[in-house]
Amino acid sequence: MAEPRTTPQQTTPSAAPGAAVGTTDDPTTGTTGRTRPATPRRAVRRRGLTLHETVLIAVLGVVFGFVYWAFVQLWAPLQLAMGPLADLAANVLAGAWIVVGPLATYIVRKPGVGILAETLAALVEVVFLASPAGPLLLLVGLVQGLGAELPFALTRYRRFGWWVFVASGVSAALVTFAFNAVRFGWLGQDYAMLRLGVQVVSCVVLCGLTARLLGDALARTGALDAFAIGAARRG
């Protein structure tokens, strides 16, 4: 943060007869013999990522890459439990695979953070956990991160109330549903709208609201004091 700067005392080459030495007349203040203190410059917010922000995003990407893999292991048991609606199991779990996007955005509050974190998590799944989706999962992660981050971008990363996280969940659900509908031909199915409704609920709960709860819980520990979320909590 830049140090406050003050206006140096003005001096004149030669004082008029009868004038007090070391004083100035300032027509903007209507006073004689006083100088107006300068207003401290407002700190300029850096748009690029700092080193500790980059490290945090990398850590979140790795951790949630393993979390996402764990939810993949729940996919098959959930299909068995859902019986005739087994094909909707992926939509039930959809929000759990997007949560790091809004979480990273909530903590760092800079453009592209959610997309980057989500794509890194997908990279971990592909490279280290041998995801059956293969390299295509990187594109999926990019789409998921884009959908989750969009509402925050529309507020210019200045609003982080509960409604923004709900909007993040809805946006993530709609964007990823459209992407997967093209991939898997969902729009031609009889229960396409049921599938969409399930995915919206999943993303609002497991992506948007869960990201807000996780961010608040981590912030209360003091571990995030060096990031934008910590500065916001301090006022």
Dump pLDDT digits (tens) for 12-42. Answer: 444 444 444 444 444 444 444 444 444 444 4
Q: What is the pLDDT of residue 45?
A: 52
Domain for residue 130, yes or no?
yes
DSSP 30: T
Residue 19 inside a domain? The answer is no
CB distance 116 to 104 below 8 Å: yes
Residue 46 has what pLDDT? 58
Is the residue at 42 inside a domain? no
Q: How far, in Å, CA of 203 to CA of 169, rounded?
A: 5
CA distances from 183 to 14, 140, 167, 178, 216 (A): 82, 11, 24, 9, 36
Contact 147, 99 (CB under 8 A): no
In a domain, 38, yes or no: no
pLDDT value, residue 13: 44
Please name which of 104, 94, 192 lies closest in space to residue 140, comparing C-alpha atoms.
94
- Other C-beta atoms lying within 10 Å of the C-beta of residue 161: 10
178-218 pLDDT per residue, tens: 999 999 999 888 899 999 999 999 999 999 999 999 999 99
Give the total number of structural domains in the chain: 1
- Looking at the domain assignment, is residue 40 inside a domain? no
Sign of CA dihedral 177, 181, 187, 192: negative
Task: Tell me if 31 is assigned to some domain.
Answer: no
The pLDDT assigned to 44 comes to 40
What is the C-alpha to C-alpha distance for residues 194 and 117, in angstroms, rounded to an integer? Answer: 29
Return the beta strands (E) in the chain as ranges.
25-26, 31-32
Residue burial 62-73, b: 16+ Cβ < 10 Å; e: rest: eebbebbbebbe
Task: Give the model's pLDDT for residue 4.
Answer: 42
Within a domain: 10: no
CATH number (domain holding residue 83): 1.10.1760
Q: Tell me whether residue 16 is in a domain.
A: no
User: With 0-12 CB in 10 A as exposed, 13-18 as middle and 19+ as buried, what is 38?
Assistant: exposed
Place of tokens 């709609």: 174
- Give the largest Cα separation in the chain, rounded: 101
Range of the domain at 161: 51-234
Q: How far apart (Å, rounded) are the C-alpha atoms in residues 68 and 63? A: 9
Structure tokens at 94: 């959809």
The string of pLDDT tens digits covering residues 53-82 is: 999 999 999 999 999 999 999 999 999 999
> SS3 breakdown of the chain: % helix, strand, coil, rounded to 5?
65, 0, 35
Task: Please list, in sequence order, all residues whose beta carbon lies within 8 angstroms of the beta carbon of residue 19, skipping any fewer than 6 positions away.
Answer: none
